[in-house]
Protein backbone atom coordinates (compact mmCIF):
# COMPACT_ATOMS: atom_id res chain seq x y z
CA UNK A 1 0.00 0.00 0.00
CA UNK A 2 1.39 3.40 -1.00
CA UNK A 3 1.21 6.37 1.37
CA UNK A 4 0.89 8.87 -1.44
CA UNK A 5 -1.29 9.53 -4.44
CA UNK A 6 -0.97 11.88 -7.39
CA UNK A 7 -4.05 13.90 -8.38
CA UNK A 8 -3.79 16.25 -11.37
CA UNK A 9 -0.05 16.28 -10.91
CA UNK A 10 -0.23 17.10 -7.20
CA UNK A 11 1.35 14.71 -4.69
CA UNK A 12 -0.88 14.07 -1.66
CA UNK A 13 -0.08 12.04 1.45
CA UNK A 14 -2.99 9.72 2.17
CA UNK A 15 -2.11 9.12 5.82
CA UNK A 16 -3.41 10.98 8.87
CA UNK A 17 -1.56 13.96 10.34
CA UNK A 18 -1.22 13.43 14.09
CA UNK A 19 1.17 15.15 16.48
CA UNK A 20 3.23 16.68 13.68
CA UNK A 21 3.84 13.49 11.71
CA UNK A 22 2.18 11.19 9.25
CA UNK A 23 0.44 8.15 10.72
CA UNK A 24 -0.98 5.23 8.74
CA UNK A 25 -3.84 2.86 9.49
CA UNK A 26 -4.27 -0.86 9.01
CA UNK A 27 -7.27 -0.24 6.74
CA UNK A 28 -8.03 2.20 3.94
CA UNK A 29 -11.03 3.46 2.01
CA UNK A 30 -11.18 4.33 -1.67
CA UNK A 31 -11.69 7.92 -2.76
CA UNK A 32 -13.34 8.34 -6.19
CA UNK A 33 -13.71 11.44 -8.35
CA UNK A 34 -17.34 12.34 -9.05
CA UNK A 35 -16.28 13.68 -12.46
CA UNK A 36 -15.59 10.32 -14.04
CA UNK A 37 -15.44 7.76 -11.22
CA UNK A 38 -11.64 7.54 -11.35
CA UNK A 39 -9.89 6.29 -8.21
CA UNK A 40 -8.07 9.22 -6.60
CA UNK A 41 -6.41 7.25 -3.83
CA UNK A 42 -6.56 4.75 -1.00
CA UNK A 43 -7.02 6.84 2.14
CA UNK A 44 -6.01 5.83 5.66
CA UNK A 45 -9.16 4.76 7.52
CA UNK A 46 -9.05 5.85 11.12
CA UNK A 47 -10.86 4.39 14.08
CA UNK A 48 -10.84 4.60 17.85
CA UNK A 49 -7.06 4.22 18.10
CA UNK A 50 -6.38 7.09 15.70
CA UNK A 51 -8.99 9.23 17.46
CA UNK A 52 -7.30 8.62 20.82
CA UNK A 53 -3.88 9.42 19.36
CA UNK A 54 -5.08 12.65 17.77
CA UNK A 55 -6.86 13.79 20.93
CA UNK A 56 -3.77 12.96 23.01
CA UNK A 57 -1.61 15.02 20.64
CA UNK A 58 -4.06 17.94 20.76
CA UNK A 59 -4.25 17.77 24.55
CA UNK A 60 -0.46 17.69 24.92
CA UNK A 61 0.02 20.65 22.57
CA UNK A 62 -2.73 22.76 24.12
CA UNK A 63 -0.98 24.40 27.11
CA UNK A 64 1.88 25.84 25.04
CA UNK A 65 -0.38 26.96 22.21
CA UNK A 66 -2.89 28.53 24.61
CA UNK A 67 -0.01 30.45 26.21
CA UNK A 68 1.32 31.66 22.86
CA UNK A 69 0.86 35.44 22.61
CA UNK A 70 -1.95 36.64 20.39
CA UNK A 71 0.43 38.36 17.99
CA UNK A 72 2.38 35.14 17.41
CA UNK A 73 -0.78 33.09 16.85
CA UNK A 74 -1.94 35.72 14.36
CA UNK A 75 1.42 35.66 12.58
CA UNK A 76 1.22 31.91 12.12
CA UNK A 77 -2.33 32.11 10.78
CA UNK A 78 -1.19 34.68 8.24
CA UNK A 79 1.68 32.35 7.32
CA UNK A 80 -0.83 29.57 6.67
CA UNK A 81 -2.82 31.97 4.48
CA UNK A 82 0.38 32.72 2.57
CA UNK A 83 0.85 29.00 2.02
CA UNK A 84 -2.71 28.61 0.75
CA UNK A 85 -2.22 31.44 -1.73
CA UNK A 86 1.10 29.97 -2.87
CA UNK A 87 -0.58 26.63 -3.62
CA UNK A 88 -3.95 28.02 -4.70
CA UNK A 89 -3.92 26.40 -8.14
CA UNK A 90 -2.98 23.00 -6.70
CA UNK A 91 -5.70 23.22 -4.06
CA UNK A 92 -8.26 24.25 -6.67
CA UNK A 93 -7.59 21.40 -9.09
CA UNK A 94 -7.40 18.78 -6.33
CA UNK A 95 -10.66 19.90 -4.77
CA UNK A 96 -12.42 19.96 -8.14
CA UNK A 97 -11.19 16.42 -8.80
CA UNK A 98 -12.33 15.32 -5.36
CA UNK A 99 -15.78 16.89 -5.02
CA UNK A 100 -16.76 17.91 -8.56
CA UNK A 101 -17.36 21.62 -7.95
CA UNK A 102 -16.42 24.08 -10.68
CA UNK A 103 -12.70 24.69 -11.11
CA UNK A 104 -13.33 28.33 -12.04
CA UNK A 105 -15.18 28.81 -8.74
CA UNK A 106 -12.36 27.23 -6.77
CA UNK A 107 -9.79 29.44 -8.46
CA UNK A 108 -11.66 32.72 -8.25
CA UNK A 109 -13.73 32.43 -5.09
CA UNK A 110 -13.39 29.38 -2.89
CA UNK A 111 -9.61 29.09 -2.43
CA UNK A 112 -9.10 32.85 -2.00
CA UNK A 113 -11.80 32.62 0.68
CA UNK A 114 -9.80 29.83 2.38
CA UNK A 115 -6.85 32.20 2.75
CA UNK A 116 -9.19 34.98 3.87
CA UNK A 117 -10.61 32.75 6.62
CA UNK A 118 -7.16 32.61 8.23
CA UNK A 119 -6.38 36.28 7.70
CA UNK A 120 -9.74 37.47 9.01
CA UNK A 121 -9.63 35.56 12.28
CA UNK A 122 -5.94 36.41 12.79
CA UNK A 123 -6.78 40.10 12.53
CA UNK A 124 -9.98 39.81 14.54
CA UNK A 125 -8.05 38.16 17.35
CA UNK A 126 -5.77 41.18 17.68
CA UNK A 127 -8.68 43.58 18.18
CA UNK A 128 -10.87 41.26 20.26
CA UNK A 129 -11.78 43.09 23.45
CA UNK A 130 -14.65 44.25 25.60
CA UNK A 131 -14.51 47.61 27.26
CA UNK A 132 -14.16 47.40 31.03
CA UNK A 133 -17.21 48.53 32.97
CA UNK A 134 -17.99 49.48 36.56
CA UNK A 135 -20.35 47.91 39.07
CA UNK A 136 -20.63 49.88 42.33
CA UNK A 137 -17.02 50.93 41.99
CA UNK A 138 -15.79 47.47 41.04
CA UNK A 139 -14.14 46.93 37.65
CA UNK A 140 -15.40 44.19 35.32
CA UNK A 141 -12.91 42.86 32.78
CA UNK A 142 -14.05 40.39 30.10
CA UNK A 143 -11.50 37.99 28.59
CA UNK A 144 -11.59 35.02 26.22
CA UNK A 145 -9.72 31.96 27.53
CA UNK A 146 -8.85 29.09 25.15
CA UNK A 147 -11.20 26.16 25.77
CA UNK A 148 -9.01 23.17 24.84
CA UNK A 149 -8.95 20.55 22.08
CA UNK A 150 -11.66 21.06 19.47
CA UNK A 151 -13.19 18.38 17.26
CA UNK A 152 -14.20 19.77 13.87
CA UNK A 153 -16.23 17.62 11.47
CA UNK A 154 -16.75 19.05 8.03
CA UNK A 155 -18.83 18.28 4.92
CA UNK A 156 -18.00 17.40 1.33
CA UNK A 157 -19.73 20.17 -0.60
CA UNK A 158 -17.08 22.86 0.11
CA UNK A 159 -14.42 20.83 1.92
CA UNK A 160 -11.51 23.20 2.48
CA UNK A 161 -13.48 26.43 2.76
CA UNK A 162 -15.83 25.04 5.40
CA UNK A 163 -12.97 23.29 7.23
CA UNK A 164 -10.98 26.50 7.52
CA UNK A 165 -14.08 28.44 8.54
CA UNK A 166 -13.82 26.32 11.71
CA UNK A 167 -10.07 25.68 11.94
CA UNK A 168 -9.06 29.35 11.69
CA UNK A 169 -11.10 30.72 14.61
CA UNK A 170 -10.41 27.65 16.75
CA UNK A 171 -6.64 28.11 16.31
CA UNK A 172 -6.86 31.89 16.67
CA UNK A 173 -8.65 31.40 19.99
CA UNK A 174 -5.70 29.39 21.28
CA UNK A 175 -7.24 25.95 20.94
CA UNK A 176 -5.78 22.84 19.38
CA UNK A 177 -7.74 21.04 16.69
CA UNK A 178 -8.62 17.57 15.46
CA UNK A 179 -10.16 17.90 12.00
CA UNK A 180 -12.19 15.04 10.52
CA UNK A 181 -12.91 15.77 6.84
CA UNK A 182 -15.75 14.11 4.94
CA UNK A 183 -14.80 10.71 3.56
CA UNK A 184 -16.11 11.66 0.10
CA UNK A 185 -13.66 14.60 -0.20
CA UNK A 186 -10.65 14.21 2.13
CA UNK A 187 -7.74 15.32 -0.04
CA UNK A 188 -7.39 19.06 0.53
CA UNK A 189 -7.48 18.57 4.31
CA UNK A 190 -4.29 16.54 3.94
CA UNK A 191 -2.72 19.35 1.91
CA UNK A 192 -3.79 21.83 4.60
CA UNK A 193 -1.82 19.83 7.17
CA UNK A 194 1.28 20.18 4.97
CA UNK A 195 0.72 23.91 4.54
CA UNK A 196 0.26 24.45 8.28
CA UNK A 197 3.43 22.50 9.07
CA UNK A 198 5.41 24.47 6.48
CA UNK A 199 4.10 27.70 8.03
CA UNK A 200 5.60 26.65 11.37
CA UNK A 201 2.48 25.65 13.29
CA UNK A 202 3.70 23.59 16.28
CA UNK A 203 3.21 19.84 16.25
CA UNK A 204 -0.12 18.69 17.67
CA UNK A 205 -1.87 22.03 17.26
CA UNK A 206 -3.60 20.86 14.07
CA UNK A 207 -4.35 17.18 13.56
CA UNK A 208 -6.19 15.62 10.61
CA UNK A 209 -7.83 12.22 10.98
CA UNK A 210 -9.56 10.59 8.02
CA UNK A 211 -12.25 7.95 7.97
CA UNK A 212 -15.95 7.28 8.33
CA UNK A 213 -18.26 9.20 10.62
CA UNK A 214 -19.58 6.07 12.28
CA UNK A 215 -16.04 4.97 13.16
CA UNK A 216 -13.45 7.66 13.84
CA UNK A 217 -16.07 10.42 13.92
CA UNK A 218 -18.03 8.71 16.69
CA UNK A 219 -14.87 8.15 18.69
CA UNK A 220 -13.94 11.82 18.43
CA UNK A 221 -17.27 13.37 19.40
CA UNK A 222 -17.62 11.08 22.41
CA UNK A 223 -14.05 11.67 23.58
CA UNK A 224 -13.84 13.10 27.13
CA UNK A 225 -10.94 15.41 26.18
CA UNK A 226 -12.92 17.25 23.50
CA UNK A 227 -13.79 20.69 24.80
CA UNK A 228 -15.68 21.92 21.73
CA UNK A 229 -17.37 20.16 18.80
CA UNK A 230 -18.31 21.96 15.59
CA UNK A 231 -20.18 20.06 12.89
CA UNK A 232 -21.63 20.92 9.51
CA UNK A 233 -23.86 18.30 7.95
CA UNK A 234 -27.20 16.53 8.22
CA UNK A 235 -29.77 16.68 10.99
CA UNK A 236 -29.72 12.92 11.78
CA UNK A 237 -25.92 12.95 12.17
CA UNK A 238 -26.13 16.08 14.32
CA UNK A 239 -28.59 14.38 16.65
CA UNK A 240 -26.20 11.44 17.05
CA UNK A 241 -23.29 13.81 17.74
CA UNK A 242 -25.33 15.77 20.29
CA UNK A 243 -26.27 12.56 22.08
CA UNK A 244 -22.61 11.50 22.24
CA UNK A 245 -21.45 14.94 23.40
CA UNK A 246 -24.09 15.07 26.12
CA UNK A 247 -22.27 12.47 28.20
CA UNK A 248 -19.35 14.90 28.59
CA UNK A 249 -21.38 18.13 28.39
CA UNK A 250 -19.21 19.16 25.45
CA UNK A 251 -20.45 22.43 23.90
CA UNK A 252 -21.66 22.13 20.32
CA UNK A 253 -21.99 24.32 17.27
CA UNK A 254 -24.16 22.71 14.59
CA UNK A 255 -24.75 24.08 11.08
CA UNK A 256 -27.28 21.78 9.48
CA UNK A 257 -29.63 21.44 6.56
CA UNK A 258 -32.01 23.87 4.97
CA UNK A 259 -35.10 24.13 2.83
CA UNK A 260 -34.84 27.84 2.32
CA UNK A 261 -37.46 29.98 0.57
CA UNK A 262 -36.89 32.54 -2.17
CA UNK A 263 -39.82 34.96 -2.14
CA UNK A 264 -40.57 36.89 -5.35
CA UNK A 265 -43.09 39.71 -5.03
CA UNK A 266 -44.82 41.28 -8.01
CA UNK A 267 -43.02 44.57 -7.43
CA UNK A 268 -39.59 42.93 -7.76
CA UNK A 269 -37.18 43.39 -10.64
CA UNK A 270 -38.11 40.13 -12.39
CA UNK A 271 -34.82 39.79 -14.24
CA UNK A 272 -32.97 40.10 -10.92
CA UNK A 273 -35.37 37.63 -9.29
CA UNK A 274 -34.78 35.12 -12.10
CA UNK A 275 -31.01 35.54 -11.79
CA UNK A 276 -31.26 34.88 -8.06
CA UNK A 277 -33.42 31.81 -8.64
CA UNK A 278 -31.13 30.28 -11.27
CA UNK A 279 -28.17 30.89 -8.95
CA UNK A 280 -29.69 28.31 -6.60
CA UNK A 281 -28.32 25.62 -8.96
CA UNK A 282 -24.78 26.57 -7.89
CA UNK A 283 -22.53 23.60 -7.07
CA UNK A 284 -25.13 21.28 -8.61
CA UNK A 285 -27.55 22.31 -5.87
CA UNK A 286 -25.25 21.03 -3.14
CA UNK A 287 -25.40 24.18 -1.02
CA UNK A 288 -27.11 24.15 2.36
CA UNK A 289 -28.15 27.80 1.97
CA UNK A 290 -29.87 27.36 -1.40
CA UNK A 291 -33.31 28.85 -1.80
CA UNK A 292 -34.85 25.70 -3.20
CA UNK A 293 -38.46 26.77 -2.62
CA UNK A 294 -39.40 29.51 -5.11
CA UNK A 295 -42.45 31.34 -3.75
CA UNK A 296 -43.74 33.65 -6.50
CA UNK A 297 -46.65 36.07 -6.37
CA UNK A 298 -49.44 34.70 -8.57
CA UNK A 299 -49.76 37.76 -10.79
CA UNK A 300 -46.18 37.41 -12.09
CA UNK A 301 -45.71 33.65 -11.78
CA UNK A 302 -46.28 32.88 -15.46
CA UNK A 303 -43.83 35.53 -16.65
CA UNK A 304 -41.30 34.61 -13.99
CA UNK A 305 -41.47 30.95 -15.02
CA UNK A 306 -41.02 31.80 -18.70
CA UNK A 307 -37.89 33.85 -18.00
CA UNK A 308 -36.57 31.28 -15.53
CA UNK A 309 -36.89 28.42 -18.01
CA UNK A 310 -35.11 30.43 -20.69
CA UNK A 311 -32.17 31.26 -18.41
CA UNK A 312 -31.91 27.85 -16.71
CA UNK A 313 -32.06 26.02 -20.04
CA UNK A 314 -28.98 27.94 -21.18
CA UNK A 315 -26.83 26.56 -18.35
CA UNK A 316 -24.01 24.35 -19.54
CA UNK A 317 -23.65 21.04 -17.71
CA UNK A 318 -20.47 19.03 -17.99
CA UNK A 319 -16.90 18.57 -16.81
CA UNK A 320 -16.30 21.05 -13.96
CA UNK A 321 -12.71 21.56 -15.13
CA UNK A 322 -14.01 23.25 -18.28
CA UNK A 323 -14.31 27.05 -17.93
CA UNK A 324 -17.57 27.00 -19.92
CA UNK A 325 -19.31 24.61 -17.49
CA UNK A 326 -22.00 26.01 -15.19
CA UNK A 327 -23.12 22.81 -13.44
CA UNK A 328 -20.93 19.83 -12.67
CA UNK A 329 -21.67 16.39 -11.23
CA UNK A 330 -23.15 15.46 -7.90
CA UNK A 331 -20.74 14.03 -5.36
CA UNK A 332 -21.55 10.30 -5.22
CA UNK A 333 -23.77 7.63 -6.70
CA UNK A 334 -25.62 7.38 -3.41
CA UNK A 335 -26.37 11.10 -3.52
CA UNK A 336 -27.52 10.94 -7.15
CA UNK A 337 -29.91 8.12 -6.32
CA UNK A 338 -31.21 10.10 -3.34
CA UNK A 339 -31.87 13.15 -5.53
CA UNK A 340 -33.63 11.13 -8.21
CA UNK A 341 -35.67 9.33 -5.57
CA UNK A 342 -37.04 12.62 -4.30
CA UNK A 343 -37.92 13.77 -7.81
CA UNK A 344 -39.54 10.52 -8.96
CA UNK A 345 -41.67 10.29 -5.81
CA UNK A 346 -42.78 13.89 -6.33
CA UNK A 347 -43.70 13.20 -9.96
CA UNK A 348 -45.64 10.10 -8.93
CA UNK A 349 -47.52 12.22 -6.37
CA UNK A 350 -48.62 14.66 -9.08
CA UNK A 351 -45.82 17.19 -9.43
CA UNK A 352 -44.91 18.45 -12.91
CA UNK A 353 -41.36 18.86 -14.16
CA UNK A 354 -41.11 22.19 -15.98
CA UNK A 355 -37.48 21.42 -16.77
CA UNK A 356 -35.27 18.44 -15.91
CA UNK A 357 -36.58 15.65 -13.76
CA UNK A 358 -34.01 13.00 -14.63
CA UNK A 359 -30.29 12.28 -14.59
CA UNK A 360 -28.49 13.66 -17.64
CA UNK A 361 -28.50 10.64 -19.93
CA UNK A 362 -26.17 12.35 -22.40
CA UNK A 363 -23.43 12.80 -19.83
CA UNK A 364 -24.14 9.71 -17.75
CA UNK A 365 -22.27 9.30 -14.50
CA UNK A 366 -23.33 11.56 -11.64
CA UNK A 367 -24.84 14.43 -13.62
CA UNK A 368 -28.44 15.39 -12.78
CA UNK A 369 -30.35 17.82 -14.95
CA UNK A 370 -31.32 21.16 -13.37
CA UNK A 371 -34.93 20.56 -12.34
CA UNK A 372 -37.92 22.76 -11.56
CA UNK A 373 -41.08 21.15 -10.21
CA UNK A 374 -44.52 22.73 -9.90
CA UNK A 375 -47.95 21.52 -8.75
CA UNK A 376 -46.55 20.50 -5.37
CA UNK A 377 -48.46 20.39 -2.11
CA UNK A 378 -47.16 22.32 0.88
CA UNK A 379 -47.06 19.19 3.04
CA UNK A 380 -45.36 17.06 0.36
CA UNK A 381 -41.95 15.52 0.87
CA UNK A 382 -40.39 17.52 -1.96
CA UNK A 383 -41.42 20.80 -0.27
CA UNK A 384 -40.56 19.80 3.27
CA UNK A 385 -37.30 17.81 2.96
CA UNK A 386 -33.81 18.86 1.86
CA UNK A 387 -32.87 17.27 -1.48
CA UNK A 388 -29.31 18.68 -1.75
CA UNK A 389 -29.24 18.57 -5.50
CA UNK A 390 -30.20 20.75 -8.49
CA UNK A 391 -33.92 20.55 -7.73
CA UNK A 392 -36.18 23.56 -7.11
CA UNK A 393 -39.93 23.73 -6.51
CA UNK A 394 -42.19 26.64 -7.47
CA UNK A 395 -45.28 27.62 -5.52
CA UNK A 396 -47.44 30.72 -5.78
CA UNK A 397 -49.01 33.06 -3.24
CA UNK A 398 -51.54 35.89 -3.39
CA UNK A 399 -50.82 37.95 -0.27
CA UNK A 400 -47.82 38.95 1.81
CA UNK A 401 -49.16 37.07 4.80
CA UNK A 402 -49.52 33.91 2.73
CA UNK A 403 -45.96 34.27 1.46
CA UNK A 404 -44.59 34.51 4.99
CA UNK A 405 -46.72 31.59 6.16
CA UNK A 406 -45.50 29.35 3.35
CA UNK A 407 -41.89 30.47 3.81
CA UNK A 408 -41.90 29.55 7.50
CA UNK A 409 -43.82 26.31 7.11
CA UNK A 410 -40.95 23.80 7.35
CA UNK A 411 -38.87 22.46 10.23
CA UNK A 412 -35.82 24.32 8.91
CA UNK A 413 -34.66 27.91 9.25
CA UNK A 414 -31.23 28.39 7.74
CA UNK A 415 -31.70 31.20 5.22
CA UNK A 416 -34.24 33.10 3.15
CA UNK A 417 -34.10 35.39 0.11
CA UNK A 418 -36.57 38.16 -0.66
CA UNK A 419 -36.96 39.86 -4.04
CA UNK A 420 -39.02 43.04 -3.84
CA UNK A 421 -38.92 46.64 -4.97
CA UNK A 422 -40.54 47.90 -1.76
CA UNK A 423 -38.10 48.73 1.05
CA UNK A 424 -40.81 48.73 3.72
CA UNK A 425 -42.08 45.35 2.57
CA UNK A 426 -38.54 43.96 2.64
CA UNK A 427 -38.11 45.10 6.24
CA UNK A 428 -41.56 43.88 7.27
CA UNK A 429 -41.22 40.44 5.65
CA UNK A 430 -37.60 39.99 6.67
CA UNK A 431 -38.51 40.57 10.30
CA UNK A 432 -41.08 37.76 10.17
CA UNK A 433 -39.00 35.11 8.43
CA UNK A 434 -37.52 32.30 10.53
CA UNK A 435 -33.94 32.19 9.28
CA UNK A 436 -30.38 32.73 10.44
CA UNK A 437 -29.66 34.82 7.33
CA UNK A 438 -32.05 36.86 5.18
CA UNK A 439 -30.89 38.26 1.83
CA UNK A 440 -32.87 41.04 0.18
CA UNK A 441 -32.42 41.38 -3.61
CA UNK A 442 -29.14 39.46 -3.36
CA UNK A 443 -27.84 36.01 -2.49
CA UNK A 444 -24.81 34.46 -0.80
CA UNK A 445 -23.26 37.71 0.36
CA UNK A 446 -21.22 36.52 3.34
CA UNK A 447 -19.09 38.61 5.68
CA UNK A 448 -17.03 36.78 8.29
CA UNK A 449 -17.85 39.37 10.94
CA UNK A 450 -21.57 38.56 10.67
CA UNK A 451 -23.24 35.83 12.75
CA UNK A 452 -23.90 32.64 10.82
CA UNK A 453 -26.08 29.70 11.79
CA UNK A 454 -29.59 28.34 11.58
CA UNK A 455 -32.87 28.30 13.46
CA UNK A 456 -35.06 25.31 14.25
CA UNK A 457 -33.52 22.12 12.83
CA UNK A 458 -31.05 24.11 10.74
CA UNK A 459 -28.64 24.38 13.59
CA UNK A 460 -27.52 25.37 17.05
CA UNK A 461 -25.40 28.44 17.77
CA UNK A 462 -23.76 31.14 15.69
CA UNK A 463 -20.20 31.57 14.42
CA UNK A 464 -18.41 34.50 12.80
CA UNK A 465 -16.65 37.52 14.30
CA UNK A 466 -17.07 37.70 18.07
CA UNK A 467 -19.56 34.83 17.94
CA UNK A 468 -16.79 32.44 16.86
CA UNK A 469 -14.59 33.45 19.77
CA UNK A 470 -17.53 33.25 22.16
CA UNK A 471 -17.97 29.62 21.08
CA UNK A 472 -14.33 28.55 20.87
CA UNK A 473 -13.40 30.18 24.18
CA UNK A 474 -14.41 30.14 27.80
CA UNK A 475 -15.52 33.74 28.23
CA UNK A 476 -14.41 35.02 31.63
CA UNK A 477 -15.40 38.07 33.65
CA UNK A 478 -12.92 39.24 36.32
CA UNK A 479 -14.35 41.61 38.92
CA UNK A 480 -11.84 43.68 40.91
CA UNK A 481 -12.59 45.66 44.05
CA UNK A 482 -11.44 49.31 44.19
CA UNK A 483 -9.47 48.85 47.36
CA UNK A 484 -7.73 46.22 49.43
CA UNK A 485 -4.30 46.67 47.81
CA UNK A 486 -1.15 46.74 49.89
CA UNK A 487 1.68 49.03 49.01
CA UNK A 488 5.03 47.34 48.57
CA UNK A 489 7.92 49.74 48.76
What span, in angstroms and rounded, lies between the C-alpha atoms of 128 and 466? Answer: 7
* pLDDT, tens digit (0-9, with 9 covering 90-100), for 232-276: 999 999 999 999 999 999 999 999 999 999 999 999 999 999 999
Residue 265 forms part of a structural domain: yes
Residue 485 has pLDDT above 90, yes or no: no
> What rounded mean pLDDT belongs to the chain?
96
* pLDDT, tens digit (0-9, with 9 covering 90-100), for 287-326: 999 999 999 999 999 999 999 999 999 999 999 999 999 9
pLDDT at 483: 86
* pLDDT, tens digit (0-9, with 9 covering 90-100), for 339-351: 999 999 999 999 9
* pLDDT, tens digit (0-9, with 9 covering 90-100), for 357-387: 999 999 999 999 999 999 999 999 999 999 9
* pLDDT, tens digit (0-9, with 9 covering 90-100), for 100-129: 999 999 999 999 999 999 999 999 999 999
Residue 488 has pLDDT above 80, yes or no: no
For position 273, which CATH number holds?
3.40.309.10
Residue 277 has pLDDT above 70, yes or no: yes
Q: Name every residue whose Cβ is closer than 8 Å to that of residue 91 and which is 6 or more positions away in sequence.
A: 84, 106, 111, 114, 160, 188, 191
**Backbone φ/ψ region at 355: left (φ over 0), alpha (ψ -120 to 50), beta:** beta
* pLDDT, tens digit (0-9, with 9 covering 90-100), for 11-49: 999 999 999 999 999 999 999 999 999 999 999 999 999
What span, in angstroms and rounded, lies between the C-alpha atoms of 384 and 346? Answer: 11
- Residues 81, 68: one domain? yes
What span, in angstroms and rounded, lies between the C-alpha atoms of 108 and 219? Answer: 37
Q: Name every residue whose Cβ is closer than 8 Å to that of residue 42 and which is 6 or more positions away in sequence.
A: 1, 2, 5, 14, 28, 29, 30, 31
- Residues 371, 307: one domain? yes
Residue 489 has pLDDT above 50, yes or no: no
In sequence order, what E strands does 8-119 have? 10-13, 16-18, 21-23, 28-32, 39-44
pLDDT at 1: 55
For position 221, which CATH number holds?
3.40.605.10
How many residues are given for the chain? 489
Residue 80 has pLDDT above 70, yes or no: yes
* pLDDT, tens digit (0-9, with 9 covering 90-100), for 416-457: 999 999 999 999 999 999 999 999 999 999 999 999 999 999
* pLDDT, tens digit (0-9, with 9 covering 90-100), for 440-450: 999 999 999 99
Residue 356's domain spans which residues?
261-440
Q: DSSP states of 382-420 as a string?
A: HHHS---SSEEEEEEESSHHHHHHHHH-SS--SEEEEE-
Which residues are part of the catalytic machinery? 255, 288
Domains contained in the chain, number: 2
Residue 313 forms part of a structural domain: yes
Residue 278 has pLDDT above 50, yes or no: yes
By DSSP bridging, strand 252-255 and strand 459-460 are: antiparallel
* pLDDT, tens digit (0-9, with 9 covering 90-100), for 43-72: 999 999 999 999 999 999 999 999 999 999
| Cα separations in angstroms, 415 against 114, 150, 169, 257, 319 | 22, 27, 23, 10, 29
Residue 448 forms part of a structural domain: no
- Residues 394, 320: one domain? yes
Residue 37 forms part of a structural domain: yes
- Residues 369, 461: one domain? no
Residue 485 forms part of a structural domain: no
Residue 289 forms part of a structural domain: yes
Residue 472 forms part of a structural domain: yes
Q: DSSP states of 99-136 as a string?
A: H---HHHIIIIIHHHHHHHHHHHHHHHHH-----EEET
What span, in angstroms and rounded, lies between the C-alpha atoms of 77 and 61? Answer: 17
- Residues 248, 368: one domain? no
| Cα separations in angstroms, 362 against 17, 340, 359, 365, 372 | 41, 16, 9, 9, 19
- Residues 227, 325: one domain? no
pLDDT at 486: 81
- Residues 106, 251: one domain? yes
- Residues 281, 310: one domain? yes
- Residues 66, 176: one domain? yes
Residue 210 forms part of a structural domain: yes
- Residues 88, 132: one domain? yes
pLDDT at 230: 97
Amino acid sequence: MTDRTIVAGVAIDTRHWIGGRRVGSAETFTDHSPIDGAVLGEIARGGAAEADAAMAAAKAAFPAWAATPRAERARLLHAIADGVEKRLEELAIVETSDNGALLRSHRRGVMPRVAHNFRFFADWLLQLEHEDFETRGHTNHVSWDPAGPCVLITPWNAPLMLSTWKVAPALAAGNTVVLKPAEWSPLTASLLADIAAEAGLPAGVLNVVQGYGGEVGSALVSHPDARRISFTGSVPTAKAIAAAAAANLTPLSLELGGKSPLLVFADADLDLAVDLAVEQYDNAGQVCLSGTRLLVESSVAEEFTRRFVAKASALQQGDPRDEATDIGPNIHQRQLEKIDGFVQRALTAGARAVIGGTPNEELGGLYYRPTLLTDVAQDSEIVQEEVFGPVLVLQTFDTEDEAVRLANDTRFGLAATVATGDRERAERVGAQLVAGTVWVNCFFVRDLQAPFGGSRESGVGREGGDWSFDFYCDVKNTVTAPNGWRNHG
